[in-house]
Structure 1
Amino acid sequence: MASKLTNNGVFEGSRIILPEHREAYVLAMSEQERRGKPVLDEQEMQLIEGAILESYQECRSITLTVFNPFDDEELRGVVTAIDKPSRRIKLVRDEEDYSWIRIEEITAASI
Structure 2
Amino acid sequence: MKGNKLTPGSNLRWESSRMILPEHREQWLRHQQEQKKAKKPELDPQRWEELEWILADAMRDSRSLHFTFWENGFFYDITGTCHFINHEQQQFHIQTKDGVKYLKFEHLVHIE
Match of 1:105? 107
* Gap regions ≥5 residues in structure 2: none
Counterpart in 1 of 2:76? 73
User: 8 Å contact 1:51–1:62 — kept in the other structure?
Assistant: no
SS state of the match for residue 48, structure 1? helix
Percent of residue pairs bearing the same amino acid type: 23
Aligned to 2:96: 93
1:39-78 per-residue CA deviation (whole Å, 9 max, x = no partner) reads 21111111112222222232111111112413x2221110
Task: Answer yes or no: is 1:83 the counterpart of 2:82.
Answer: no
TM-score (normalizing by structure 2):
0.78
Secondary structure in structure 1 of the residue aligned to 2:42: coil
Question: How far apart in 2 are the matches of 1:40 and 1:26?
Answer: 31
Which residue is 1:24 aligned to? 27
Unaligned runs of at least 5 residues, structure 1: none
Q: Which has the larger radius of gyration?
A: 2
Aligned to 1:13: 15
Q: Distance in 1 between matches of 2:78 and 2:36?
A: 23
| Separation in 2, partners of 1:77, 1:17 | 46
Q: RMSD over aligned Cα, in angstroms?
A: 2.3
Displacement over 4 Å in runs of 4+:
6-9
